[in-house]
Amino acid sequence: MPTFDQLMAVLPEGQSFAAIRQSGRIYVDKTRYLYRLAVSGGPLLLIRPRRFGKRTLLSALEEIFRHSVAPYDGHESYFKGLEVEQLWPQLRNNDGPFYVLHLNFSELLVGCHSVADFAEQLNAAIWDFAAKEHLVLNDPYYGKEDAWEMLVDAVPDLSLVLLVDGYDAPLNQFSGTDKEAERNDMERELRAFFCLIKACSHKFRFTLITGCTRLQAANNIWGSVNSIVDISQQPEYGAICGFTLEELQRYFPEHLRYAAAQRLQLPQEQVTAQHVEQLVSELDAWYGRYCFDDDGRTQVLSPFSVLSFFSEEHTYFNTFWVNDGGYPELLRKAVLQWSWPKRLRFLAGDSMSLDLYARSEQKQAELLLLQTGYLTRQASVGDGDTSYFFFVAACLPNKELKSAFFRWWYADLLPKSTVISLENMGESFGAKPRAAIASKDAAALQQCCNEFLRDSDSERYPLLQASDIADFLHSCLALTLDLTVTNDDDEHELWGRDELLLAYQGTTVLIAFAYAHKRSESSALLSQAIKQIRTKKYGKTFKLRPVLWRLAMVFCAESREITDVQVVSE
């Protein structure tokens, strides 16, 4: 059986296609898509989240257009044994030679502080490319800053291959209302660059432009370059990036066996096919279920998270992809505007309808969640009518993203709290309130509530009245107990009132809150809360679990804590 070091030695590490093949590392064969892309003809746009394999795809296209599938430089083709080896010779207009211009806009942005800086870097990159390809750019009608126009003029017809990685990076760098003028300038700069593809289409053999987002600023560009075809949602490209479950099992059988052995604490020899299947199911639940196509049928796993999981000698589930990218400010602002009922329904698996052509900043931010991989397509909205083309239903794809949002929102509610193990996050955070409810221990539940209050941000959650206390503690308890909040039940109706209602397993918990400005008021207010529960028969009219547990609590603003609690009997 292979050792961990041996297994690590064959895992790809974000290298180019040629480097992966040259080093003998595992390459998940996606080369059938190279043929399909090349056959399609016109310039193409592909949107996928970061770390999903776009760069490897582009480097494979660069390799095949430069060297085809024949041996060169004294070694076999890097496509030997791959699907495209037999397909590529069937293509028309494929004799070459081709001039393959591969631009990474994210790299060109390094050190840029203005649109002019980026334009200068782009121009310099094209000059460097022309020099390496021995192309003379000296058209008297252009200036030195017009390298792109001169390059397109200099190459023969159907000889230029353009590959652009991170086309949206310049737009994203100048996003925000305070940078509107610069963003408009960048739009014009990119529009001028990409318009040449349409104006001089006879010069281009193939064009693929990739990025992570397509928001309104990008639509302004592609609207004027209407020859570019967006293949991002086409079903035939649903698995062009990411690993399918079949690919996971075909290319990583030894890694799966090793990881299963580690998790079960068994020798590798004792790991059964059933053990491996269970691990595959767990990996899918944690890192899979991403869907990018209109049909909603093809699902893939995050390659970065899967490879990161395999890279841990003592395997464990973690938010690898999320940790690598962090919590972008634009996304943070968008989701923090959601109400807590919406957040809790979202965590429970509810979907939301997203406008693919949203213009408002809030709606674009939510669409950004989908395009950047924080959400996934669930199903089409508006089947059978024109809304199908403008809206999609989106939800959390997997446990990695659920854990990440849980952690971000828990930190928003309770910034002073300590984040612990991700694999058992819900269980760990919810252990105390779960035990308090199970044992009907009012003092223990009071302690849990005071811990929530102690760890909260008094500026973000000032808690000025009883309904504020009810909503805040409802959010804390529902989040830690992983409870669903629906639109049409009794629990939803109590948001914004002085009572808290939640159902956990076999118990309906109802808490009526009183608000005391000073501690000296607490005793009298507790009596009033108890009387109010009994007089209005709180809990009697709701759809109940087998057990109804009613409590009265008093919050004291002076000490910012629950000072009094009492169980209210029948």
Give pLDDT tens digits for 140-190: 788 888 999 999 999 999 999 999 999 999 998 887 667 889 989 999 999
Return the DSSP state at 416. Answer: T
Q: What is the pLDDT of residue 355?
A: 82
- Distance CA(181)–CA(178), nearest Å, equals 8
Mean pLDDT of the chain: 89
Cβ burial, residue 443 (10 Å; 0-12/13-18/19+): exposed
pLDDT for the residue 495 = 64
Q: What is the pLDDT of residues 483-517, one digit of tens each?
A: 765 444 444 455 668 888 888 888 889 999 999 99
Residues 6+ apart with CB under 8 A from 397: 288, 289, 290, 291, 373, 375, 376
For residue 561, is pLDDT > 80?
Answer: yes
Q: Give the Cα-Cα-Cα angle 557, 563, 567 (nearest 5 degrees).
A: 130
Cα separation, 213 vs 233, in Å, equals: 13
User: How much is the pLDDT for 345?
Assistant: 86
| Phi (first) and psi of residue 101, to 5 degrees | -95, 110
- Whether 380 has a pLDDT exceeding 60, the answer reads no
pLDDT band at 428 (very low <50, low <70, confident <90, very high): low
Burial 402-427 (b: 16+ CB within 10 A, else e): bbbbbbbbbebbbeebeeeebeebbe
DSSP character for 483? Answer: -
Window from 25-39, 63-77, 148-162, 399-413 with minimum mean pLDDT: 399-413
What integer pLDDT is reported at residue 300 of this predicted model? Answer: 98
Question: How many Cα atoms within 13 Å fall on the side-chain side of residue 558?
Answer: 9
Q: What is the pLDDT of residue 491?
A: 46
Let me know how many helices (H) and strands (E) the chain has, helices first.
25, 12
pLDDT tens, residue by residue, 228-279:
999 999 999 999 999 999 999 999 999 999 999 999 999 999 999 999 999 9
| Statement: residue 551 has pLDDT above 60 | yes
pLDDT mean over 119-138: 95
Within 8 A by CB and 6+ apart from 184, the residues are none
Within 41-159, residue ranges assigned H as helices are: 54-67, 84-87, 105-108, 115-132, 147-154
**pLDDT (mean) for 457-484:** 90
**54 — pLDDT class (breaks 50, 70, 90):** very high
Give the model's pLDDT for residue 536.
Answer: 72
383 pLDDT tier (thresholds 50, 70, 90): very low
Q: Are 2 and 257 in contact (CB under 8 A)?
A: no
Query: Does 62 score more than 80 pLDDT?
Result: yes
**Model confidence band, residue 538 (pLDDT cutoffs 50, 70, 90):** low
Q: Distance between alpha carbon 71 and the CA centroid of its chain, in Å?
A: 39
Residue 385: what pLDDT?
A: 42
pTM for the structure as a whole: 0.90
What is the per-residue pLDDT for 42?
77
Q: Could you give the CA distance from residue 453 to residue 553 in angstroms, rounded to a whole number?
A: 14
Percent over 90 (pLDDT), the chain: 64
Residue-wise pLDDT for 341-375, tens only, equals: 888 888 888 888 888 777 777 777 788 888 899 99
Is a pLDDT exceeding 80 seen at residue 55? yes
Residues 532-543, mean pLDDT to the nearest whole number = 69
Q: Give me the pLDDT at residue 484, please.
A: 60
- Phi and psi, residue 562, nearest 5°: -80, 115
Between CA 223 and CA 228 the distance in angstroms is: 9
Compute the distance between CA of residue 104 and CA of residue 108 in angstroms, rounded to an integer: 6
Average pLDDT over residues 32-56: 94
